[in-house]
Amino acid sequence: MTKPRVLISDKMDPNAAKIFEERGCDVDVITGKTPDELKEIIGQYDGLAIRSSSKVTKEILEAATNLKVVGRAGIGVDNVDIPAASAKGVVVMNTPFGNSITTAEHAIALMFALARQIPEANEQTQAGKWPKNDFMGVEVTGKTLGLIGAGNIGSIVASRALGLKMKVVAFDPFLTPERAVEMGVEKADLDTLFAKADFITLHTPLTDQTRNILSAANIAKCKKGVRIINCARGGLVDEAALKEALDSGHVAGAALDVFETEPAKDSPLFGTPNFICTPHLGASTNEAQVNVALQVAEQMADYLVNGGVTNALNMPSLSAEEAPKLKPYMALAQQLGSLIGQLQHGDLTQISIEVEGAAAELNIKPITAAVLAGFMRRFSDAVNMVNAPYLAKERGFDIREVRHDREGDYHTLVRVSVKTDIGERSVAGTIFSNGTPRLVELFGVKVEADLEGNMLYIVNQDAPGFIGRLGTTLGEADINIGTFHLGRQEAGGVAVLLLSVDTPVPAATLEAIHNLPGVKRAMALRF
Ligand SMILES: NC(=O)c1ccc[n+]([C@@H]2O[C@H](COP(=O)([O-])OP(=O)(O)OC[C@H]3O[C@@H](n4cnc5c(N)ncnc54)[C@H](O)[C@@H]3O)[C@@H](O)[C@H]2O)c1
Ligand SMILES: O=C(O)[C@H](O)COP(=O)(O)O
């Protein structure tokens, strides 16, 4: 098996490359490429490991013909076009916790730097001015911290602030009252937070709802003398409004680690008194960088080598422990999806995935994704388990997942049913003890078959002599039969035949089979 190739395109702790190699990947570390240069080389790689500098745009993804996974050594994935990655079947994963403490500490560091004007005092002292009377600070003890966003980083900031004897007021629409109590913070609406906060720290992603959450109007609602810290994402604070509020003295100090445009080489805020900034250093500690580098490399290698999925933003998680258990089911699910997809007639209204027996104990999401991938394979070769749920949603498929507790005829069973405008039909399969998937039921008829390679599907009226005539027709066309599976509802009733054949069946032979007496349907299938 050829080794998966990974490109590390942003500065990352060397442990990442080491882990990739140890886990069986070939790795190149090539940083500082322009988008055009990245586009030129990306086609060679199965995995791309990034931080925030590389922009994984639609254009890059289009050129990434072998890419299977993008791994973000860090939290924010706003530099990755996730819908485009999903559409291409590329998994996008991040490391949601590895740099949280470090970033929370940076926010606290900036809060103290503002409270005591440390950067300016440092600069003037080193310039020989000894400005002892020019820097009157404020204590943080007893002050109120307004926390916008109380997720991983926000909650660490809150705990540190409480340790500093501050009061914490938090605004986060997803913060439950119970969690607020657990965190020891007061849950508030935004206006209440503005009215109470002496310091405001931001810890949300940049979304349509959070863009300019500190707008001119909202800054005006803040207490006079408020100090603002943003270590989350540029664009949360209106930079022009912040400049005005600093100039007017309404805001007593502001610290930005992140800017609307990065790298921020020029900003009207630069040089403003009581404004301090760092160049997106929130995650830059040895500890955090080792954490995220190790984690991203482990996650990506796990996916590329074993199929395990952790911390993916566009795919259900699948632990390395679950992956081997689910592997035969995914093969079965893909085959059943493909079978029912190839045999589908009419306009689809619903797809149901039912699991029973041992299958009911498993994570159903990857099974569903595999059914959908198989089902949609006839629309495009580029469909896979990652983009299938996304494409199914885009096409408006109504997807049902059902888990049955009941014991059936098989120790484990997956059934896929489709409803169309002309009716409902289902296929079902099981996993044999040696791990091989097997079809066991086709449109209500019990028939056992391995679904692989080129196959022939025939529905006929059960009658003596038919199998001989079929064998002759195939023999005349020089088509060798590999396996032969027959199922029928009753003697003389409707029979279903599934044959594996060594070569594809040409249209003329299909036509000849179709013209044999008693044949209702003849179709070539491909798995
Ligand atoms: N400066 C840096 O180097 C650095 C480092 C790490 C993370 N970050 C950024 O920090 C941010 C927070 O990271 P996290 O790990 O805490 O994320 P998280 O997902 O754990 O928390 C984000 C919180 O924001 C809340 N939220 C979403 N929309 C909101 C809204 N409209 N109003 C208020 N709250 C809202 C969510 O409910 C969630 O609790 C992210 O944008 C991340 O990219 C920056
Ligand atoms: O979202 C993140 O993890 C931070 O913004 C860190 O970004 P960086 O890896 O580019 O320092």
Mean pLDDT of the chain: 94
Any atom of ligand 2 within 6 Å of the Cβ of 74: yes
Kindly state whether residues 397 and 492 are assigned to the same domain.
Answer: no
Largest CA distance in the chain: 109
- The pLDDT score that the predictor gives to residue 380 is 67
Residue 438 pLDDT more than 90?
A: yes
Kindly state whether residues 217 and 153 are assigned to the same domain.
Answer: yes
Test site for ligand 2: of 50, 51, 72, most ligand atoms within 8 A of the Cβ = 51
Question: 408 C-alpha to center of ligand 2: Å?
Answer: 51
Residue 105 pLDDT more than 90?
A: yes
Residue 379 pLDDT more than 80?
A: no
Containing structural domain, residue 511? 453-526
Kindly state whether residues 337 and 442 are assigned to the same domain.
Answer: yes
* 227-277 pLDDT, tens digit each: 999 999 999 999 999 999 999 999 999 999 999 999 999 999 999 999 999
Is residue 203 flagged as an active site residue? no
**Could you say which of 23, 51, 160, 233 is catalytic?**
233
Of 37-51, 254-268, 421-435, minimum mean pLDDT range:
421-435
**Could you say which of 59, 186, 244, 262 is catalytic?**
262
Residue 389 pLDDT more than 90?
A: no
- The pLDDT score that the predictor gives to residue 87 is 83
- The pLDDT score that the predictor gives to residue 369 is 93
In a domain, 147, yes or no: yes
Kindly state whether residues 57 and 124 are assigned to the same domain.
Answer: no
pTM value?
0.77
Kindly state whether residues 365 and 405 are assigned to the same domain.
Answer: yes
Kindly state whether residues 428 and 403 are assigned to the same domain.
Answer: yes
Residues with CB under 6 A from ligand 1: 75-76, 96, 99-100, 103, 148-154, 171-174, 203-205, 207, 209-210, 231-233, 257-258, 280, 282-283
Test site for ligand 2: of 10, 50, 52, most ligand atoms within 8 A of the Cβ = 52
In a domain, 281, yes or no: no
Kindly state whether residues 245 and 136 are assigned to the same domain.
Answer: yes
Picking from 451, 475, 501, the residue at the C-terminal end of a domain is: 451
Ligand 1, closest atom to CA 283? Answer: 3
- The pLDDT score that the predictor gives to residue 236 is 97
In the structure, what pLDDT confidence band is assigned to residue 407 with cuts at 50, 70 and 90?
Answer: confident
Return d(Cα 34, Cα 243) in angstroms, integer.
Answer: 32
- Ligand 2, atom 1, lies closest to the CA of 76
* 288-314 pLDDT, tens digit each: 999 999 999 999 999 999 888 888 888
* 193-227 pLDDT, tens digit each: 999 999 999 999 998 889 999 999 999 999 999 99
Which CA distances in Å does 162 have to 140, 148, 195, 196, 222?
10, 16, 19, 16, 21
In a domain, 419, yes or no: yes
- The pLDDT score that the predictor gives to residue 349 is 83
Question: 446 C-alpha to center of ligand 2: Å?
Answer: 55
Q: Find the CATH number of the domain harbouring 492.
A: 3.30.70.260
Kindly state whether residues 161 and 204 are assigned to the same domain.
Answer: yes
Residue 173 pLDDT more than 90?
A: no
Kindly state whether residues 151 and 256 are assigned to the same domain.
Answer: yes
Test site for ligand 2: of 280, 289, 290, 292, most ligand atoms within 8 A of the Cβ = 280
CA angle, corner 311, sides to 44 and 290, nearest 5? 75
Question: 213 C-alpha to center of ligand 1: Å?
Answer: 13
In a domain, 106, yes or no: no
- Ligand 1, atom 4, lies closest to the CA of 282
Question: 151 C-alpha to center of ligand 1: Å?
Answer: 6
Report the share of the chain in percent with pLDDT over 90.
81
In the structure, what pLDDT confidence band is assigned to residue 315 with cuts at 50, 70 and 90?
Answer: confident
Residue 324 pLDDT more than 90?
A: no
Mean pLDDT confidence for 164-168: 98
Backbone angles phi, psi at 8, to 5 degrees: -100, 115
Kindly state whether residues 297 and 245 are assigned to the same domain.
Answer: no
Q: Find the CATH number of the domain harbouring 224.
A: 3.40.50.720
Residue with tokens 């009911």: 360
In a domain, 132, yes or no: yes
Kindly state whether residues 177 and 243 are assigned to the same domain.
Answer: yes
43: its two tokens: 């086609």
Domains contained in the chain, number = 4
Residue 37 pLDDT more than 90?
A: yes
Kindly state whether residues 260 and 135 are assigned to the same domain.
Answer: yes
Picking from 451, 480, 502, the residue at the C-terminal end of a domain is: 451
Return d(Cα 144, Cα 43) in angstroms, integer.
Answer: 52
- The pLDDT score that the predictor gives to residue 382 is 67
Is residue 403 flagged as an active site residue? no
Residue 20 pLDDT more than 80?
A: yes
CA angle, corner 363, sides to 358 and 368, nearest 5? 100
Mean pLDDT confidence for 388-401: 87
